Structures are given as structure tokens and as C-alpha cells.
Amino acid sequence: MAQANGEKGHSVNRRTFLGYAAGGIAAFMAAAIGFISFGGVLSPAIRAKRSAQWVKLGRTDDFQPDRPRKVDMEIKLKDGWVEGTQAKSVWVVKRQSGEFAVFNSRCTHLGCIVNWKDADKRFFSPCHAGVFNLQGEVVGGPPPRALDALEHRIDKGELWCNYEDYVLGVPEKNPV
């Protein structure tokens, strides 16, 4: 039925419809791009911190006082849906008192794996001549801080450590 006196009805012509559709698509794309950008900016701030990864290092009786021993291990990694393992190592030092120290084996300068030289009673970094004493303190070279001591515990005669890596090349001990 035709409209009298030139009044417009509720029908939409093709040109108006295409204008609404183009506007809707543009609004959807702008919202999607904004959401992705906003998520990219905030994701490091809201990302859950890696949970404690306790690793068994061995029986406490297996370690000799003032004789550092390197212990190799595998830690579990999870990145989204991908799970895997990564080889890591620590240095375990049993004190004469029976107390333990556990050090991340990476030099705090650039991350080279330090080695213990029994004749010198020192840890040496092969990369840039970093030198650490039995307490993990820097005694030579460019390392900006002592070896990174790791949290550890003894449970039923077994030594465990909470493995963690730290930012390299800076004086502060900050987790990666």
C-alpha cells in the first residue's frame, strides 16, 4: 500500500542498507583490532607467574662437605598448549656445618655455565673470566652479582631446590 502525502515508511533501500552494513563491519574490525592491541599491551602484566618447580637433587648423604657437585636435571616448560622439558643444572655446596647452598649454574654476567676447579677452590666462567668463591661471591671478572642462590629444602633425607632463572647482566636478582 502506498504512503499518502509523501511520508516515508519503515522500508530501507539498498543504498541505506549497504551503508549500515559497511559501518557495522568497520565498527567490528575497529573493536577487534583494539581488543588485540589492548591484550598485547596488558598480557605481560596479567600473565601468571611460573609456579614453583621443585626438583629433587639427591640424598643429602651423597654430598661431601666443601666439595661442590654439579647436578643436572630437566625442568618442565609449558607455553600455551605446548609442553616440553629443558636441561638445566645447579651447583650444590654442602657446608662443614651440614647446611646446604644451591646455586644456579649460570654465570650472572652472560649465562655461561660455571665450572668448579678443585685445585683453585673457585667457580670459573669460561666466557669472560668470571670467578666466584665457594660462597658464590664474585672474586674476579665482570659478573655484576654473586651466583644466584636458589631456594632449597630437605625432605626425608632428600635435597630439593626450586629452580629459577634470573635476568643476566644486572646487579639486581630479578626472575626471568
- Render pLDDT for 106-116 as a digit per residue (tens, 0 to 9): 999 999 999 99
Residue 117 near residue 131 (C-beta atoms within 8 A):
no
Q: Which domain holds residue 134?
A: 54-162
Amino acid at 141: G
| Confidence at 78, pLDDT banded by 50, 70, 90 | confident
Query: Do 103 and 34 reside in the same domain of the chain?
Result: no
Residue 68 near residue 116 (C-beta atoms within 8 A):
yes
Taking the C-alpha atoms of residue 89 and residue 105, their distance in angstroms, rounded to an integer, is: 6
Query: Do 148 and 89 reside in the same domain of the chain?
Result: yes
> Which pLDDT belongs to residue 48?
43
Handedness of CA 50, 91, 135, 147 (dihedral sign): negative
Whether residue 174 is contained in a domain is answered as no
Mean pLDDT, the chain, integer: 88
Side-chain-side CA neighbours of residue 91 (13 Å)? 27
Query: Do 87 and 150 reside in the same domain of the chain?
Result: yes
pTM value? 0.72
Name the nearest CA neighbour of 126 among 113, 141, 143. 113
Taking the C-alpha atoms of residue 38 and residue 75, their distance in angstroms, rounded to an integer, is: 32
pLDDT digits (tens, 9 = 90+) for 135-176: 999 999 999 999 999 999 999 999 999 999 999 999 999 999
